[in-house]
């Protein structure tokens, strides 16, 4: 299982802005991040599933 940092996620989503990413999380278009230590990370498999489905 690989986790994406915010910058990794942003790059994977084509440079999408911070506010847009967090809005997509709030509305359920992207999965919620997990907190590891003091940072947030996204499960890459969950992000790939959303992208393959075409929801984001």
pLDDT tens-digit series, residues 2-52: 999 999 999 999 999 999 999 999 999 999 999 999 999 999 999 999 999
Predicted structure pTM score: 0.87
Coil vs helix vs strand at 4? strand
Q: In what order do the strands lie in the sheet with 3-4?
A: 3-4, 39-43, 34-36
Buried b (16+ CB within 10 A) or exposed e, 8-33: ebbebbeebeeeebeebeeeeebbeb
Alpha-carbon span 24 to 56, nearest angstrom: 8
Q: Half-sphere exposure (CA, 13 Å, Cβ side) for 13? A: 25
């Amino acid at each position: 299982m690989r986790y994406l940092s915010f910058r990794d996620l942003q790059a994977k989503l084509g440079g999408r802005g911070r506010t847009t990413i967090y809005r997509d999380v709030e509305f359920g278009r992207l999965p919620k991040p997990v907190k590891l230590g003091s940072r947030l990370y996204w499960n890459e498999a969950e992000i790939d599933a959303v992208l393959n489905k075409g929801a984001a």
